[in-house]
Structure 1
């Protein structure tokens, strides 16, 4: 067992910030922090993702859909799907779970 005490802590130095807290072969976990009004620069990943919004408010965009997200939102994004947070109205703090670990999957 491992307690991941720092997971979910909002931290922004200058713009969007991702802090990885755990990496094992089958998954990785990190906190993604985006200040209000920020641009989300992320590109599609080769891994499936689950976003768990801990705080803040904005929208999650994909080419086919845009959904409002706020505290308590849980969203699945399949590997390879273009996506990004937009219209960030309040600082966002998001737990991100990658399966398998980020950067380890072969592109589909």
Structure 2
């Protein structure tokens, strides 16, 4: 058992614009926090792993090629591996608890070469 400290808690991104911090990593799962300030831009690309977001604070829209939805505290969003997605219209500092299965980046071709 492990208590994951800091997961889902706002961290001001500073000059970077957004902030991603991974708090737990195993072969099959990673957990982290992604923060986007109000008015900020989400610049992420599709991931090679399935992903679940839990909105712990803030408000925004999430957009995929087939759907757009308003999200706020308590929203839980599943994004399958490879699906384009982006948070837009961030009206309040957005804090997302993020879970990847398997661990973030573990399926990416470049990561596989690094471990070979």
- Listed as ranges, the gaps of 5+ residues in structure 2 are 110-116
TM-fit CA distance, 1:80: 0.1
CA RMSD of aligned residues (A): 1.0
Separation (CA, whole Å) in 1 of partners of 2:7 and 2:75: 17
Normalising by the residue count of structure 2, what TM-score does the alignment of the two structures yield?
A: 0.89
Answer 1 or 2: which has greater strand percent: 1
- Deviation track 1:47-98 (CA, whole Å, cap 9, x = no partner) reads 0000000000000010111111000000000000000100000000000000
Say whether the 8 Å CA contact 2:9–2:56 is kept in structure 1: no
Distance of 2:108 and 2:19 partners within structure 1: 25
Answer yes or no: is 1:53 the counterpart of 2:55.
yes
What is the CA distance between 1:4 and its match in structure 2? 0.8
Structure number with higher helix proportion = 2
> Highest CA radius of gyration, 1 or 2?
2
Q: Which of structure 1's runs of 4+ aligned residues deviate more than 3 A?
A: none
